[in-house]
Structure 1
Amino acid sequence: MDTNYRKAIPIEKRVAITLFALGSSAEYRSIANMFGVGKSTVCEILLEFCTEIWRLLQPSCFKMLPLNRENITELVTGFEVIGFPQCLGAIDGCHIEIHPSSDEGVDYYNYKGWYSTVLMALVDAKYRFTYINVGSPGRCNDSQIYETSSVKKEIDSCPLLSEMSREISGVNVPVFIIGDSAFRFSKQLMKPYPFSVNQNNGEKVFNYALSKTSRVVENAFGHFKARFRRIGKGIDNSVRNANSIIKACCVLHNFLNDNNDTLNAKWLRALEELETRRQNPCDISYASDDPINGEMIRTALCTYF
């Protein structure tokens, strides 16, 4: 508020400070000097903005859960356009560099030798996040995070996914999601056939179709990190505040996609250079597959392709 000593920082300036902080990799001290405020003020404004943007936009930007017939139809139609039937979304995890305290360091130390937190996301055909799980330590595997997530409970218990089955190659195929080989294979989650030297042509074609479709989640993460350089470079806030920043950026990513915002090619090139210097952690699967329920569906899709 305004006082006898100074005027309050206008809302327009607060938004400008936050968007510049999220969209660049500049230090908070440099941002403070640029806008004529204190370093602690930049951090305070950033966290206030992220908290409010999540509170206000999250209900309209993440409408998938709970699942209903309208949402399922919209998501499945989007993937059918790009050539994969009965797909609800593509799921994967993205490691974001953070700087935890020494007490928390062991949990956040990932397989490639740096500290990270995991953003698990389900993505639709338009590169929008339909579900996010933020804050799991970097040592956690994608499958471990998914098995305990709310989206898995929703997918496993939703009767509409079976009711909206479609006959493919003589098999009633329910609506499912797709993921890479790190996830547990089941009738609700399709993943590629394991690599084999003598792999038949049908399995190769299925793996190619699934890989091509699941690129939507990799592209979404690429666009996400390119738009918000603070995410791509690494978050230097505390772990608790880092989660708030990541969630706000996810909401803004969906907001920009809905409004047909364009991506600068320079941002994508800068991200590629950063990613080549920082290798992605390995995905190691600890969960056992459930081939009895899923193999018939995967075989039907293999025949379809």
Structure 2
Amino acid sequence: MERPCFDILVNRLEVLRKKDTNCRAAIPLEKRIAIALYTLDSSSEYRTVGRLFGVAPNSVCNILHEFCRALIDEFSKEYMSPNYLTSDKIDECVKGFEAIGFPQCLGAIDGCHIEIKPPAPEAVDHHNYKGWYSTVLFALVDYRYRFTYVNIGSAGRCNDSMIYQKSSLAKHIEASALLQEKAKEISGVNVPVMLIGDWAFRFSKKLMKPYPFSTVASLEQRTFNYNLSKARRVVENAFGHLKARFQIIGKGLDSHHKNNSAIIMSCCILHNILNMHNSAINENWELATNEQREQPDTSNSSADFNQSAEQIRSAIAKYCVDRNEN
């Protein structure tokens, strides 16, 4: 984190400042924020962080959780507010994804499994298909790798499509009149603004996914899959950047399960803050993510069929071919 971003946190998280007592001097605000950031940014244990900063391990734990709560209270409305369905945001995202090569796209959705230590009664629900315990960070990501919607806390055994169908995001997407109002005619078909996802999701007019794999796929189908994959990469890159910046996400959470959601949300907000200030990603950080847990495979629901959605997919496929030829 560059100094200007750190200074923003210091200036706006004054609530974390503590007063000196008769027994001892309080830990300065700047040091408290630095301790919290270092804990999120590294895979070190509280004991190691405490030795580095000269504080007790339990102080590191308390400072981290206080920081996360304060950060969410102060920055969530600004950097994680439910404004992804406003007219200006829709226009911005459609234009951004159009430049990438996919029309009428609001954002890409996907899930990321984060290792946790669940309480014994909930362990079986959190046991994922790769054989380890996880909670799911489900996210909608825009063309700039920013998290515009997050759903945190689903058990590891849940698949992405199930999480999406039960989420407030799905309800808002289906109920939004703006997405249809901003429809655009493509190859003779009225195409609304939509989300894009991988094989796991249920195919619909508001959610595009690739054509099923086929050795005899047409040029239009292959081109569509390529362009969708290129646009959908934004969500994969966002998760990659999140894990690179905050190794606590990649290595897994050791905290009490009740604190996990606040830690994950704080990392997402910090990611957006750094993204908005064009903070660079170090290549060595990204290389370190290769050593982390392998993500569970997504289930394939490619057998579903929707006639109206298929017309839209065919129109976009033809558009992609025509665009590449021009």
Q: What range is the shorter-chain TM-score in? A: over 0.9
Native 8 Å contact 1:96 1:118 kept in 2: yes
Matched with 2:315 is 300
| In 2, Cα distance between equivalents of 1:186 and 1:62 | 26
Taking the TM superposition and a 5 Å limit, the aligned residue runs for 1:139-154 are 139-154=157-172
SS at match of 2:229: helix
Which residue, 233, 250, 275 being the options, matches 1:215? 233
Matched with 2:244 is 226
Aligned letter for 1:281?
A: P
Matched with 1:252 is 270
Matched with 1:111 is 129
Q: CA deviation at 1:73?
A: 0.6
Which residue, 277, 281, 289 being the options, matches 2:304? 289
| In 1, Cα distance between equivalents of 2:36 and 2:207 | 38
Taking the TM superposition and a 5 Å limit, the aligned residue runs for 1:1-305 are 1-65=19-83, 67-272=85-290, 274-275=291-292, 278-285=293-300, 289-305=304-320
User: What's the % identity of the aligned pairs?
Assistant: 55
Runs of 4+ in 1 over 3 A off after TM superposition: 63-66, 285-290
Native 8 Å contact 1:141 1:285 kept in 2: no
Q: CA deviation at 1:240?
A: 1.6
Aligned letter for 1:56?
A: E
Aligned letter for 2:143?
A: A
SS at match of 2:185: strand
* Stretches of structure 2 lacking an aligned partner (at least 5 in a row): 1-18, 321-326
| In 2, Cα distance between equivalents of 1:289 and 1:8 | 60
| In 1, Cα distance between equivalents of 2:170 and 2:26 | 46
| In 1, Cα distance between equivalents of 2:106 and 2:295 | 26
Q: Deviations over 1:103-154 (max 9, x none)?
A: 2110110000011110001011111001000010100000000001111101
| In 2, Cα distance between equivalents of 1:168 and 1:63 | 31
The alignment covers a number of residue pairs equal to 302
Q: CA deviation at 1:287?
A: 9.4
Aligned letter for 2:311?
A: M
Moved more, 244-253 or 67-76: 67-76
Q: CA deviation at 1:198?
A: 1.8
* Stretches of structure 1 lacking an aligned partner (at least 5 in a row): none
| In 2, Cα distance between equivalents of 1:287 and 1:219 | 24
Native 8 Å contact 2:135 2:155 kept in 1: yes
SS at match of 2:125: helix
| In 2, Cα distance between equivalents of 1:14 and 1:238 | 21
Q: CA deviation at 1:166?
A: 0.5
Q: CA deviation at 1:283?
A: 1.1
| In 2, Cα distance between equivalents of 1:64 and 1:102 | 34
TM-score (structure 2 length as normaliser): 0.90
Q: CA deviation at 1:293?
A: 2.6
| In 1, Cα distance between equivalents of 2:174 and 2:304 | 15
SS at match of 2:281: coil
SS at match of 1:121: strand
Aligned letter for 2:282?
A: N
